Structure formats: structure tokens, C-alpha cells
Amino acid sequence: MMALGPERYPPFKSTVFAKGYELTGVEPPPAGATAGVQYVQALGFLDRMIQEFRAREVELPDRLEAQGVLWCLARANREQPTVAPEHLEQLLSYVGESPSVWWLNEDEAGIGIVEPNSIWLPLERQREDAAVTDLRLRHLRPSEVVLHVRGRAIHSISGVQQRPIQQQRGDPRMLGFRVRLDVAALGVPIRVDAIPFDLRRAEPAIFTDDGSLAGGLLHRLSPESAAAIRERFADRWPSNSPWAGRQRQRWLFQSNPDYWSLTQWLDTHRVGDTEEFSITRHHEEIRAGDSLVLWQSGADGGAYALAEVISEPFQRPAGAWRQERGDTQSEEWAARFRLTQRLNPPIHRGQLTRHPVLVGLDVIRLPRGTNYRVTEEQWAALSELIGGEPPPSPTWEEVGLDEIRAHLARKGLRIPARTLRRFHHSLKTRGFVILSGPSGSGKTWLAECYAEAIGAKFELVPVAPSWTSNEDLLGHWNPLTGSYQHTNFSRFLMRAAEEFGKAQEQGRLPRPHVVILDEMNLARVEHYFAEFLSKMEVRGRHGRAEIQIGPEETTYLTPNLLFVGTVNVDETTHGFADKVYDRAQTLELVVERDDVVALVGDAPYRDLLLDVWSIVEPIAPFGFRVVEEIRRYVDQAAEDNVSWEEALDEQILQKVLPKLSGADPGLSSVLQSVIDLADRLPLTAVKAQRMLRQFEAHGFASYF
């Protein structure tokens, strides 16, 4: 038959068809099937190929031609390409010879079920695009990458951990495929509209002609587009993700006991405690997650402890030790570390100078530095001396108010001691604190720094004006998919409850989890926060309160979950009902003149900026954020030989005058006082005069 009519009865090779079955999800012949049975199924498969290609406007004239296409797919490799060079990578990606990158549109999760570490898709499909997605889902292979997209932004990246497995979910009739993923959240999501338009146009299955998102749950990115996205946003991929731009690095930080004694610090601290350390070089390379050797110089110089960097490098006011050395700079780089292991006994310099590898440590060859790179070979040798990698971080212990105050001071956050004490005790007493104050007064900054200081986990939840119910905060049950659509808050709530449960089992204190509701009165608090206002009372009486998540799942509001809400009061916000005040402690942050003086320091424009601050403070006070941005602007302008007078004038015009709007009777005198500074702020004075004329003519002033 093959010899007489190869177009109808083409030559048959079982391995080629096995690849076709794998790629399309068609059930292969049973094990032990005769050659005749295998051939009959192969002919049917070729007929199905012809139909599918024709439906996509590609004509395969006969079975022989179809088998030729299948042969190209099954035998594709780089050594013997079966397609044109420009299509090779896409073909290899399709057949699994080159790992694929997938685009997972979670906003289309009605097709299937997207869970924190897996995708599940039912076999019974009610939509045509779901059938296509199911076919693609079967193609996912270990080591492939998935980009998770929700709300028009890539929010996470994951690596496929295993091939899809058929699995039942709940109802026996609910059969489907599940793929396990290792998900890493991006610190800063990548907006879809930040992807270049030409790059989006090159992916017609994912984007429409105008560059907006098309439908469908799962799509394969072309190798060219995947590489371009990876490279363009190289700094966004988390260190624990498949696209991590760098491996964890090793460093040695050396302390000088004349300025800061590492050994004294170790005497008063325990494993798990955190501290900041000056960085004099390599601040562009040091990153959170890197490993540290803590070294002390001097007669007993050597390695005394191991630690882990837990923050990105940041700038802070320069330490007193720099002034003692004659260094005049006002700021320095620093990073925060967590102590992971004490070295008992320490490894002294003399011991290392006799080691064939560790004698090459830069701290031994060039001992007058602060931060040194440690090679992987040196780290391995050091680990061998110590006896292995450091153990994981220990359990949480309560932190005192003095340590919290010291941490905030190191961060540069100025706050009156009494205000900090009130905030600390209010949060410990009630578990719900509302912070008010002018925009830029440090409300969110305080909440974040406080959480860091006490070693808490925290989640920043920006409140949207459209929120009207508990579901906006907590998520909702999707009856179409039979799953709960979680939010970052609901997951954080469950993690806090899980930590509380483990702490009770192990007889230890639970680590606090702090939720920061940023600008919480942009929506009505008594609407979207209603359930928690009620459950807080239950928690206060019984120690915890049950929270329903979906029809069959519950979690708990536990004592270790604390809430901090930040509020502004302007025309875009809502007031609070009495029941909110009854259940919260309220504090107001006020920016004082002395705080501005401390932040500006001895800058040449200090007096003029303070004059402006004093003028506008009764009507529109501005806080740390504006002052800090003005400082940076003036410094940046100086690099282009712009005088501080000119730069400050531009910043008062752009950052302060827009706040002077409305119909407040005192606005007239404030604008006039600004105009009186015309000799020093000419650009600002011209705009202020226009605003004053508008106020006198219409009874209100507006910057625009």
C-alpha cells in the first residue's frame, strides 16, 4: 500500500507520531498495540492534522505532506535545522527543545483556576478559547518560565516545576490538568504599557493592533519578545526568580572598634537581630539576600559572625565617625543586615594567613577598608572552617521602644519621642491606629520603619476610591471557576494566621504582621472595612475571630495582625463614622519648623526655604517629602551649573504654589507674603501675583 500510494499511505515511523501525540495531547495507542493498530491511528491523526490546518487557512494536499510537516516538528534541532533560520528558535520552543516563556493573563482566569503556585484547567470546556488554552497547558515543561499578568501589569514570574498532571478537583466530574509553579513576586510590577509598542505589535495573540491586551488565558511568547522583555526590565526580576539578573554575592564588612565595636554589639544582641552598616564602596553591587562575613579589625582582628543583607543600600546622615576622621560629607551609604550565626570561637587573622585560599582575602592584603568582596572559592573555604552554611533565622522576640527609636533615627525619620511612644503603645493596645497629617509628613514612612524595627512582616495596601465592600479588600468567590479570587491582603491575612498557629504549637511569640492601609479614607472605611471593624471586637474578647473565605474555607483574624491606616483630609477623601473612631487609636503627625531645619541642614538656601515654609504653613503646610524633593532638585541642578537661587525659585513655583488653592480667607495674605519675596523668588512671585488677582476677582485661587 505504501509503495502504490504514498500520498494516501505514507511511510510510517512510530517515534515521529509519538512526538505528534505528545505535542497535541492526543492519546497514543495502548502499550503492546500491533503495527497495524498503530498505523491505522497514525492515518487518522494525519487526517485530523489536515482538517486543523485547513481551519487555519493552511492547505496540506495529502497525508504524505502532513507527515512531512510532522517529521519537521519531531526531528527539529539546531544541528540539522528543518525550517528557515528565522523560524528555528520558535520551532524549538514549540517542540520543547528550547524552554518557552508563557504569558499568563490572570484577568482571564474564568477559563481556568489560577492559584498561588499552580494553574488548573478543566477538561470539560465550555469555550473555544479554553480548548486552545488546554492544548497549550499540556505543553508546559519544567524549567520554562511564566509571566503572571493581572490588572494590566506583570506582577510575578514563575518557573514550571513539573509537567502537567491530570487531577480531579472537588466534584468527581471536575477533571483537569494542574501545573506546579515556583512563583516570585516582582517588587515593582511592570506595566503592560511600559512594554514598547513595537514589541507588543509583534505578539498578535497577546495584544491587539492598538497595543492593548487581547483575550485568552495562556500564550507562548516568541523567543525574540521574551528576550527583549527580560533584557529591558532586567532590574525588576526578583533574585529568586528564573530570570534573576544576578547570583547571590558574598561580602566581608569590617568594623573599626574605635568607632563601632562589633564584639560589643554581639555581646548585647542575638541571632536574628538586625543592624545597619556603613558602605564606603560597592553600594551599586550589594543587594538584599547577599551573604556577609562580619569582621572586626585590631589586635584580635578576625571573623566574628555571619549575616545576611536584608535591605537594598540606602543613603542616611553620615555617622559621627566620619567627622572624627575629617570626612566632611553629610550623607553616607548603608545597608541593613540580619545576624545569622555567631562564630564561636572566632576565626582570627593569623589562622587565615596560614590558609592557602583565605590568605588571599582582600581584608588581609588591604586591611584599611570597610567593605570587601569574597569570592565563591573563599566563601566555600570559610564555610568549611566554620562547618557549613549558617542556619535559618530564628523566631521573633519583642523589641523595646529604645531600639525602635534608634532605628527610626538611623533611617532619618524625625518624630517626637512622645508621638512615637503613643504610636507604639496604641498599636500594642488596640492593634488599629489611624495616622493623620499633611501630605508628606511621614505617615507611611513611620508605619514601614516601625514594622522593620520590630522585625515584623508588613504589607502596603493602597486603598482605591472605587472600593465599596469587603470584597475589594478581602477578595471574592468566583462561582464560574469554583475558586476564591484572592487579593494580596487576603493572602497576607492567611499568612499571619498561619504564623500565629505555628507559634502556639511551638510555644513561642508569633511574629507581628502589619497591614498598612495607605490613604484609607479615599473610600468609605465603614463600607470596605466593615467586617474587620466587627471582627476586631470579637478578637478583643476571644483572642481571635473567624473570617470566611469562600463557602468552604475560613481563616482567622489573629492578635499578631496589626492595622495602620494613613489618612489625608482634602476634597478627595471621606470622613469617618463614629464606629471607626471607637475601634481605632488616632494620632496626628505634625511637621515642626525644627524638623525642616534638621532635614535641610546647613544648605545655603535654608533660611529662604524656612521663610516660605513659615508663610504657607497656616494654609498649606508641606512636609518631609516636599523638602526632600526640593533638596534633590537643587543638588541635581547644581551639576548643570544652575545656582541654588534659581533652582529653589523653580521648586517653590512647582512644588509649593500649587498647594495654595481654594477660597480660604487667609489665602490673600499668604500670596501677598510670597509676592514680597520677589527679589529672591522672581519666577514664583509672577505666578503668585496672577493667583492673587484671581482670588481678589473671584474669591478663590487656583494654580491651573
In angstroms, the CA 291 to CA 593 distance is: 42
**pLDDT value at residue 295:** 95
Comparison of pLDDT for 691 and 322, the residue scoring more: 691
In angstroms, the CA 622 to CA 659 distance is: 9
**pLDDT value at residue 128:** 41
Average pLDDT over residues 90-111: 64
Average pLDDT over residues 8-28: 73
Residue 77 has pLDDT above 60, yes or no: no
Average pLDDT over residues 546-573: 83
Residue 328 has pLDDT above 70, yes or no: no
Q: Is it true that 99-232 and 401-588 share their CATH fold? A: no
Residue 262 has pLDDT above 70, yes or no: yes
**pLDDT value at residue 573:** 74
**pLDDT value at residue 75:** 63
- 428-431's contacts with Cβ under 8 Å and 24+ in sequence apart are 429/585, 430/583, 430/584, 430/585, 431/536, 431/539, 431/559, 431/561, 431/562, 431/563
Residue 139 has pLDDT above 80, yes or no: no
Give the H/E segment covering residue 669.
helix 667-675
In angstroms, the CA 688 to CA 670 distance is: 10
**pLDDT value at residue 129:** 44
If pLDDT is split at 50, 70 and 90, which confidence band does 554 have? confident
Average pLDDT over residues 7-36: 75
Average pLDDT over residues 397-414: 82
Is CATH 3.40.50.300 what the domain over 401-588 is classified as, yes or no? yes
Average pLDDT over residues 142-163: 84
If pLDDT is split at 50, 70 and 90, which confidence band does 303 have? very high
**pLDDT value at residue 264:** 92
In angstroms, the CA 161 to CA 111 distance is: 22
If pLDDT is split at 50, 70 and 90, which confidence band does 320 have? low
Per residue in 443-480, pLDDT (tens digit) is: 888 999 899 889 888 899 998 888 988 888 888 877 77
Residue 33 has pLDDT above 90, yes or no: no
Fold of 99-232: ph1033 like fold (3.10.590)
- Contact at 8 Å (CB) between 158 and 149? no
Lowest mean pLDDT of 355-359, 430-434, 458-462, 648-652, name the range: 355-359
Residue 569 has pLDDT above 80, yes or no: no
The reply to whether the predicted model has a pTM over 0.85 is: no
**pLDDT value at residue 391:** 38
Average pLDDT over residues 375-394: 68
Residue 246 has pLDDT above 80, yes or no: no
- Contact at 8 Å (CB) between 159 and 153? no
- Helical pair 624-638 and 644-651, crossing angle rounded to 10 deg: 140
Closest-CA residue to 10 (of 91, 80, 69): 69
Residue 434 has pLDDT above 90, yes or no: yes
**pLDDT value at residue 253:** 95
Average pLDDT over residues 681-686: 90
**pLDDT value at residue 99:** 66
Rounded to the nearest angstrom, the gap between the alpha carbon of residue 647 and the centroid of all alpha carbons in its chain is: 34
Q: Where are the domains of the chain?
A: 14-75, 99-232, 250-280+291-386, 401-588, 593-698
Average pLDDT over residues 590-616: 84
Average pLDDT over residues 475-498: 82
Residue 570 has pLDDT above 70, yes or no: no
**pLDDT value at residue 372:** 94
If pLDDT is split at 50, 70 and 90, which confidence band does 302 have? very high
CATH of domain 250-280+291-386: 3.10.590.10
Q: Residue 305 is which amino acid?
A: A
Provide, rounded to the nearest whole percent, the portion of the chain with pLDDT above 90: 11
Closest-CA residue to 512 (of 503, 524, 520): 503
In angstroms, the CA 548 to CA 425 distance is: 30
Average pLDDT over residues 150-175: 73
Average pLDDT over residues 559-585: 83
Query: What count of other Cβ atoms lies within 10 Å of the Cβ of residue 332?
Result: 17
Average pLDDT, the chain: 81
Residue 255 has pLDDT above 90, yes or no: yes
3-state secondary structure 214-236: CCCCEEEECHHHHHHHHHHCCCC
Average pLDDT over residues 241-247: 70
Residue 78 has pLDDT above 70, yes or no: no
Residue 680 has pLDDT above 80, yes or no: yes
**pLDDT value at residue 515:** 93
E strands, 401-456, are: 432-436
